[in-house]
Structure 1
Amino acid sequence: MSEARRYQQLRSHFSYLKLDNAAEALPRILDQARAENLSMTAALERLLEIEVNATEERRLAGRLRFACLPDPWTLADFDFAAQPGVDEKLIRDLATLRFLDDASNVLFVGPPGVGKTMLATALARGTAEAGNRVYFTTAADLAARCHKAAVEGRWATCMRFFAGPKLLVIDELGYLPLPGDGASALFQVINQRYLKSSTILTTNVGIADWATAFGDATVAAAMLDRLLHRATVVGIDGPSYRLRSHQSTSDKLRKAVNAHVS
């Protein structure tokens, strides 16, 4: 078999196996092999590394689409200096994702605007990048989805969906009133995940006030019992991170306008 025919046959094999990135990189890798006098093993490793990296990128993109994160925030985007109410050392430890190993939970508790959602999103993205399935929802949307599933006879399917991800983020608990069966639905989701998978929850309601906020002391107590059994509670009592960001943007615009006028 001639070298030209062998080369075309190799590309055909890649195409048949759907190794499109390796097929595209083949000419470049062959040139590198000649220029650097690479062994067959070294050249093959480089070629397959390209395909593996491309496959991982596609899988990550799929996990991020499924996750429905509100923004592409990472921990590097969070300005710890701007929010002294956050324990940076604790957040860095959570970012190792060790809490996923024993299905521990994380509760971010604090007033609006202090960075709870941003931190939860950053941890969720890190979890997805580590190869795990993640899903992000608000408490109100979760309750509405569960209610609709119950009405349509899909309750078991809905519970399996929320039980599935390695990490479930429930954002904004307490911001909007839950429907009549909302607290019960939230408890059922948390109970499904108890000791099996991790949940991150953000809320502006202090733990001591859950019974009053959700209108059912029994359900609130049962929910907290499961959430806090293995949990890290991150209380944030500092200035509004969001308002500080808005103020910084306004100051920059004002300076730019003043400079233009002068």
Structure 2
Amino acid sequence: MDRGYTVLFTSAAALMAGLTKAHADGRLEEKLLQLSKPKLLIIDELGYLPLEPAAAHLFFQLVSRRYERASMLITSNRPVGEWGHVFGDAVAATAILDRLLHHSQVITIRGDSYRLRDKRRSGLLQKAAAPTPITSES
């Protein structure tokens, strides 16, 4: 049922490609305005691929634009403590996290993804064995 809320879902890679292209084309302000409109912006897989420092600054502009105005839901396979590496710029990562974490709820999920869990249940995939220690004999 439509309740009047607007939502935009995008992958982090597609979002950053769009922001980078808009910046190169001189349309960054227009793109940021477009991305600021939805009540909820869902960004999937942030941190799957590292970002260039310039992309981190574009992402910061988006986060700043939406800060305290509209909601963001971000999925990541990296803990926030590693976002300095994800963004390639610890200062930008700190500024981004400062705004994102201020009014947020962080949910940490451990274990297999639902996709891997389903494959394991069906018997198509076995749980990875613990690594065998390497020993040397003198």
* TM-score under structure 2 length normalisation: 0.83
Matched, 1:169 2:42: yes
Aligned residues with identical type, % of pairs: 44
Residue in 2 aligned with 1:228?
Answer: 101
Matching residue's letter, 1:131: G
**TM alignment of 1:19-168, pairs within 5 A:** 129-168=2-41
Report the CA distance between 1:150 and its aligned residue.
Answer: 0.9
Asked if structure 1 preserves the Cα contact closer than 8 Å seen for 2:53 and 2:88, the reply is: no
What stretches of structure 1 of length at least 5 have no aligned partner?
1-59, 61-128, 252-262
Residue in 2 aligned with 1:24?
Answer: none
> Secondary structure of 2:72's match?
strand
Q: CA RMSD in A?
A: 1.6
Asked if structure 2 preserves the Cα contact closer than 8 Å seen for 1:143 and 1:179, the reply is: no
Residue in 1 aligned with 2:71?
Answer: 198
Matching residue's letter, 1:195: E
Residue in 2 aligned with 1:14?
Answer: none
Residue in 2 aligned with 1:90?
Answer: none
Report the CA distance between 1:230 and its aligned residue.
Answer: 0.1
Asked if structure 2 preserves the Cα contact closer than 8 Å seen for 1:168 and 1:198, the reply is: yes
Matching residue's letter, 2:72: T
The count of corresponding residues between Structure 1 and Structure 2 is 124
What stretches of structure 2 of length at least 5 have no aligned partner?
125-138
Asked if structure 1 preserves the Cα contact closer than 8 Å seen for 2:46 and 2:77, the reply is: yes
Matched, 1:181 2:54: yes
Matching residue's letter, 1:159: L
Higher helix proportion (structure 1 or 2)? 1
Stretches of 4+ aligned residues off by more than 6 angstroms: none
Matching residue's letter, 2:89: D
Separation in 1, partners of 2:86, 2:24: 25
Matching residue's letter, 1:209: E
> Secondary structure of 2:105's match?
strand
Separation in 2, partners of 1:144, 1:181: 12
The Cα offsets for residues 99-144 of structure 1, whole Å up to 9 and x where unpaired, read as xxxxxxxxxxxxxxxxxxxxxxxxxxxxxx3321100011111111
